[in-house]
Structure 1
Amino acid sequence: MTLPPMPLSSSSPVLLVTGGGRGIGAAIAIAAAAAGHAVAVNYHRDEGSAHSVVQRIVAAGGKAVALQADVAQEDQVLRLFAAVDQTLGRLTGLINNAGMLAPQMRVEDMSAARLQQVLATNVIGCFLCAREAVRRMARSRGGAGGAIVNLSSMAAKLGAPGEYVDYAASKGAVESMTIGLAKEVATEGIRVNGIRPGLIHTDIHASGGEPGRVQRLEASVPMGRGGEPEEVAAAALWLLSDAASYCTGTFIDVSGGR
């Protein structure tokens, strides 16, 4: 794959955050920009939220662009990464954050269409974005290395019974990919790690039909509360940084001990 010429003006590390317009993705994009990254804020449908994140970053003196793409669609992923190349320069970091929940349901009631949609976004999208990132970061392809952080979930360990077993399974697949890819590209100067958020205050729970899910379950958290997106962002920024230079194929649980 031949990449287009890179802009000469960008000397900052270049980060793509998929699903970066809201929740954990938005918190990571804002924190990364404050740490000196030029940030591509990807969104699927919510253009307004993505542009609000970009405006906040630019107002604080950072550099960011909002880029639309459905990560489950290969042609759109290719377009997304080409747009990052053209606007910000060669990628040095990827946050694979885009994901979806379907309404709470037991496995016995799940349709094939639901399963295909969840797996396409949460698993295939993660693979496609990681593939394109590796093509840009790998030393053998002219890159300078980099870091990929995949957002998993504590659901991968807990199973989400009676609610989101399909979502939990998709995140289990993301974890297996993280471990395998980390080993595959370690000699290319690319580190691949994951984060397992627990009960975090974001609007993804409304997508599952229960906006107050964190409040209902926070008594089960040893720390007694739900987490904030900024707490997940802090872990992501550490994994992107040189402070995590000897970490690959590993996970940080941001779950209050759950």
Structure 2
Amino acid sequence: MAKTALITGASAGKFPIKCRTRIGRSTAIALSAAGWNVILTGRRQDALEESSIRCSNLTLVVAGEITNEKFVEELFSLAVERFGTFPMFNAGISSAQTPIENLSLDTFQQVLNVNLVGPFLCTREAVRIFKTQSPPGGRIINNGSLAAHVPRPHSFPYACSKHAISGLTKCTALDGRAYNITCTQIDIGNAHTDMAAGHTVGALQPDGRVVPEATFDVQHVADTIVHIASLPNDVAMLEVNIMAAGAPYVGRG
């Protein structure tokens, strides 16, 4: 019997601020190729359908906003009705690098809503299901970032949201331990997505220089997520770092 995974941010289209959903789409395709059923959610129906076409196994597309509590509740209810249990991968967004004195509250809240409130709502619904099914258990994979550990300059919304994801991941792993629920944070550094492609031209460094940075194929991220998702629930991977070998992370700043 095929396993099923739910992937947020599984589209790859236009967004008011920079979107990292190429990782979500690549993950969906990789899981499907590995024999998984996939449930794809995101804001744009057309982009989700495009992702679905590239998946080789059974796929369910549900468009909506993961910061909407009612939508998330209905999404997970539908997922259980159609497929039963599943692991889950949460994607995220970023915003333009902006000094805090020029940063609008709207932009800050928008990034926090998508990167933290959305994963919180999804985690809450998933844990409810994982605890009550027989036998209990499940796996959640959160999209962290190198910025969850060391921020880039002028990255308040994104860095704050990703530091918060670390707390969400660890709380989920702790409280889920007695129910065979595991949670992983995957910290990705310069996967070659639309969001990171500009780094190859030049990225602002803490000393004020703009320096080209190394990137790597997003397929390696997708393959890593497939591996994590395929582990039994009694095996935990709390934190996973995958990055371009040349990324300025160790010693950043």
TM-score range, shorter chain: 0.7 to 0.9
- Residue 66 of structure 1 aligns with an amino acid whose one-letter code is V
Distance 2:136 2:49 in 1: 29
- Residue 204 of structure 1 aligns to a residue whose secondary structure is coil
Match of 2:5 among 6, 15, 19: 15
Match of 1:251 in 2: 239
Match of 2:78 among 79, 83, 87: 83
User: Are 2:221 and 1:232 aligned?
Assistant: yes
Per the normalisation by structure 2, the TM-score is: 0.84
Query: Any conservation in 1 of the 2:144–2:188 contact (CA below 8 Å)?
Result: yes
User: Are 2:174 and 1:183 aligned?
Assistant: yes
- Superposed, 1:98-113 pairs within 5 Å as 99-113=92-106
Distance 2:176 2:194 in 1: 34
RMSD over aligned CA atoms reads 2.1
- Superposed, 1:1-258 pairs within 5 Å as 11-22=1-12, 23-45=22-44, 47-57=45-55, 60=56, 62-87=57-82, 89-97=83-91, 99-138=92-131, 140-142=132-134, 144-162=136-154, 164-205=155-196, 212-217=198-203, 225-242=214-231, 245-248=234-237, 250-257=238-245, 258=249
Query: Any conservation in 2 of the 1:93–1:240 contact (CA below 8 Å)?
Result: yes
**CA deviation vs aligned residue, 1:186-208 (integer Å, no higher than 9, x gap):** 12111101101111221235xxx
Query: Any conservation in 2 of the 1:90–1:136 contact (CA below 8 Å)?
Result: no
**CA deviation vs aligned residue, 1:84-112 (integer Å, no higher than 9, x gap):** 2233x213200011x22222211111122
Identical-pair percentage: 27
- Residue 193 of structure 1 aligns to a residue whose secondary structure is strand
Larger fraction in helix? 1
The runs of 5 or more residues in structure 1 that have no matched partner are 1-10, 206-210
Distance 1:143 1:75 in 2: 27
Distance 1:237 1:147 in 2: 12
Distance 1:66 1:16 in 2: 10
How far did residue 159 of structure 1 move? 1.1
- Residue 236 of structure 2 aligns with an amino acid whose one-letter code is C
Match of 2:18 in 1: none
- Residue 253 of structure 1 aligns to a residue whose secondary structure is strand
Count of aligned pairs: 231
Distance 1:29 1:21 in 2: 10
- Residue 152 of structure 1 aligns with an amino acid whose one-letter code is G
How far did residue 213 of structure 1 move? 2.7
Query: Any conservation in 2 of the 1:20–1:26 contact (CA below 8 Å)?
Result: yes
Per the normalisation by structure 1, the TM-score is: 0.82
Query: Any conservation in 2 of the 1:14–1:93 contact (CA below 8 Å)?
Result: yes
- Residue 66 of structure 2 aligns with an amino acid whose one-letter code is V
Moved more, 21-30 or 211-220: 211-220
- Residue 202 of structure 1 aligns to a residue whose secondary structure is coil
Moved more, 108-117 or 17-26: 108-117
Query: Any conservation in 2 of the 1:215–1:226 contact (CA below 8 Å)?
Result: no
Query: Any conservation in 1 of the 2:199–2:212 contact (CA below 8 Å)?
Result: no
- Residue 254 of structure 1 aligns to a residue whose secondary structure is strand
